[in-house]
Amino acid sequence: MGFDRTTLSRLNYCSIVVASPLKVARAPVFWHVRRMLEQKIKASEEANLAPYLGGRSFAECWDEYETNGYVIFPEIMPPEQVAQQRAALTPFIEADIRGRNVFEGVQSNRIYAMLGKDPLFAELVLHPLQLAFAERELGKSFLLSACLAINLHPGETVQPWHIDDDHCRQPFPRKALGVSSFWAIDPMTEDNGATEIIRASHKWDDRRPEGANNLSDFITNGDTGQDHDHGAHPDAIKAVMPAGSLMIAKGNIWHRGGANRSDKSRLIVTPQYCPGWMRPLETMLLAVPPEKAAKLPKRAQDLLGYSIHEPFMGYVDGMHPNRVLSDPALDNPA
């Protein structure tokens, strides 16, 4: 008999059905079997992850993630797969659309909405290792919150320090409300802009490092001359790792893209996840089709989700979502 989550939920159902006074005596047997099944599932999940853990147990990797706020898995994606991902990204990189502000990086390309561009990118989103971390951190119903590629050109300067789940605006210290992963498509090196992380900063209170982001960093064509580089933070590391490696980090850890002082570009893909509750009760953007939404008052459109929670939560392919409503095709829907 195969033990899987379906078996376990059937067993839960059976436990409810037998919970009559006459049968209560059998309950401990069910609990015992349930525990045994849970252990078997855990063992088989661990076995599935083993090829990526570099000889460590999942528990050891999780402890490192809890302690430092991040954990690195070197070279877990085979070179052929990395090459396929790069090939699929190449047309978007060649379009060479540069970042619009200090946060995006004016010497960087950002490719948003990746799953809308090529289904191949689902491989980076669905890797079992990062899903296991996201599920443990955020619960079973977690969602994909963003998935973008970031290509730093030579000459790119450091990004402002930031945390990825900042838009939640909850007081610190607090639990992570996101999980971010970083796939190295190019090697991340000392001098090509490897992501920098302030170790254990997910445990900080409302302290902010020098060079932390502020709202002006998101203004299009704002002051790009500011120098966010206040030198190396004493607790910062550079996530130096070969191509095909994965770093998984807590959404509340302080980090930034590094400065690219090399003569080659640096490409990563960063899928990010959030808890399943971080959305409206009803999925309004699907419940109300765009052609109907286009005819509603502006405030109603905002409430449906054609709006931004500052600085950029709710974007669509890097743009304000209400652009969809000004599409002339909406006047003559097919």
Residues lying near ligand AKG in the complex (CB under 6 A):
150, 159, 164, 195, 255, 257, 268
Rounded to a whole number of angstroms, the minimum distance from the CB of residue 237 to ligand AKG is: 13
Nearer to ligand AKG, 160 or 293 (CB): 160
The residues facing 181 across adjacent strands are 248
> CB of 187 within 8 A of CB of 243?
yes
Nearer to ligand AKG, 153 or 255 (CB): 255
Rounded to a whole number of angstroms, the minimum distance from the CB of residue 317 to ligand AKG is: 16
> CB of 279 within 8 A of CB of 273?
no
Nearer to ligand AKG, 195 or 265 (CB): 195
How would you class 120 by CB atoms within 10 Å of its CB: exposed for 0-12, middle for 13-18, buried for 19 or more? Answer: middle
Rounded to a whole number of angstroms, the minimum distance from the CB of residue 232 to ligand AKG is: 16
The residues facing 285 across adjacent strands are none
Structure tokens at 220: 């299009």
The rounded distance, in Å, linking the Cα atoms of 54 and 50 is 7
Rounded to a whole number of angstroms, the minimum distance from the CB of residue 151 to ligand AKG is: 9
Rounded to a whole number of angstroms, the minimum distance from the CB of residue 255 to ligand AKG is: 5
Task: Give the DSSP per-residue string, 219-282.
Answer: STT--TT-----S--TTEEE--B-TT-EEEEETTS-EE-----SSS-EEEEEEEEE-TTSS-SS
Nearer to ligand AKG, 132 or 185 (CB): 185
Nearer to ligand AKG, 150 or 324 (CB): 150
Q: Which residue is nearest to ligand AKG (CB)?
A: 257
Rounded to a whole number of angstroms, the minimum distance from the CB of residue 294 to ligand AKG is: 31
Rounded to a whole number of angstroms, the minimum distance from the CB of residue 61 to ligand AKG is: 21
Nearer to ligand AKG, 189 or 195 (CB): 195
Single out the residue of 199, 67, 218, 91 nearest to residue 149, CA to CA: 91
Find where tokens 């060649």 sit.
94
Nearer to ligand AKG, 137 or 164 (CB): 164
- DSSP structure class, residue 181: E
> CB of 228 within 8 A of CB of 159?
yes
Rounded to a whole number of angstroms, the minimum distance from the CB of residue 290 to ligand AKG is: 28
Nearer to ligand AKG, 159 or 245 (CB): 159
How would you class 206 by CB atoms within 10 Å of its CB: exposed for 0-12, middle for 13-18, buried for 19 or more? Answer: exposed
- DSSP structure class, residue 171: P
Nearer to ligand AKG, 195 or 322 (CB): 195
Structure tokens at 17: 């059905």
User: How many Cβ atoms sit within 10 Å of the Cβ of residue 69?
Assistant: 25
Rounded to a whole number of angstroms, the minimum distance from the CB of residue 17 to ligand AKG is: 49
